[in-house]
Structure 1
Amino acid sequence: WYFLCSRRRNLLRNPRAQEKFKHWKLDCNGGDKWKVEELPGTHGNSFPSPAVRKYFVTSYDLCLKSQIIDLKKEGYWEELMDKHRPDIVVSDWYAARFDCGCRYQLKVQLLSADYLVLNEFCPEPVIIDQWSDAEWKEMSHTFRNYKPGVRYILFKHGGQDTQFWAGWYGIRVTNSSITIGPGTSA
């Protein structure tokens, strides 16, 4: 328990766009492609935490980016993951522009050593209408009592605008996280 508490940290690298797209794989880079912008951005709102200063933004065609976390490389050995199966907490923040509708999607998969899907969190895409409040919202999930054998975690998110406007009018994402430990909640 002490080990898990002391090791609790965000396993995603560059979750706040501070290093542009470093550590992210751009799976789909449609329209005018992914872009990094400063908060609050055009027709946007400030983030709830002043520590977050940038976000990733999508375009008019599908934009998805991902990271795969190798749990062994992060210090979570097989016996720990198989016997104790500590909570795996996922969090992602998203927002729209006030003046354009958009679509947000998230998929997180717990994978075996052979990259087989053991468990998945894949909520229905969120559609935000034009003239929304442009407030930042959190999508979160806690994996509990999952199957033994989890060795990797795939995190993939993104979306696009729903009006097909050239430029960067799609969903904005930032402050994504994956943490492992006891007694966490989301």
Structure 2
Amino acid sequence: MWKVEEMPGDFGHDFYNDGVTKYFVTSFELCIKRQVVDLLAEGYSSDQLDAQPVVTVEDWYSGRTDCGCTYQMTASLLDENHEVIQEFKPEPVTLDPECDDCSWKKVHHSFSDYGPGLRFVCFEHGGQDTRFWDGWYGVRVTGSSVSIEV
């Protein structure tokens, strides 16, 4: 289960951009959010997408200074049948306030040279706290984006 909180939140860190005032926070259970972006519905043509434009995904995550957390993220380029063309899935990250600063970290990846057929982008991220405390003590995420250079 997710919750939206105000920046910087209890035991939190300021974000680099003052315009970002909220973030999603996870619970003690694994919380995953997934969004599939239909690129044709967003106004891109099949010809534009088949030209293999650079697709960039970005996400920001942080932890609390009083409770550890895990973060994971997957971004996938999908064809018209929702089959994966190319995927970015970094190793999950564990933040421990006893040895990490738990401040906001950026995940950034650009897809290129993936072949024709791109029609959707699937973006998934989430995590949980490592102490299984009741409430919202897990990873915080904000600033997620998908951009396409045509």
Give how far 1:64 is off.
0.4
| Misfit runs of 4+, over 3 Å | none
CA deviation digits over 1:7-59, x for unaligned, max 9? Answer: xxxxxxxxxxxxxxxxxxxxxxxxxx210000000000111000000000001
2:19 to 33, 51, 57: 51
Kept in 2, the 8 Å contact 1:112–1:150? The answer is yes
Give how far 1:139 is off.
0.4
Return the structure number with greater strand share. 2
Unmatched tracts of structure 2, length 5 or more: none
CA RMSD of superposed structures (Å): 0.9
Corresponding position of 2:65 = 98
Q: Which amino acid aligns with 2:88?
A: F
Indicate the structure whose relative CO is greater, using CA pairs within 8 Å and at least 6 residues apart: 2
Q: Secondary structure at the match of 2:48?
A: helix
When the two structures are superposed, what TM-score results if normalisation uses the length of structure 2? Answer: 0.96
Q: Secondary structure at the match of 2:47?
A: helix
Q: Which amino acid aligns with 1:121?
A: F
Give how far 1:130 is off.
3.0
When the two structures are superposed, what TM-score results if normalisation uses the length of structure 1? Answer: 0.78
Give how far 1:129 is off.
1.0
1:161 to 126, 129, 133: 129
Q: Which amino acid aligns with 1:85?
A: Q
Distance 2:37 2:115 in 1: 17
Unmatched tracts of structure 1, length 5 or more: 1-32
Distance 2:127 2:2 in 1: 10
Q: Secondary structure at the match of 1:51?
A: coil
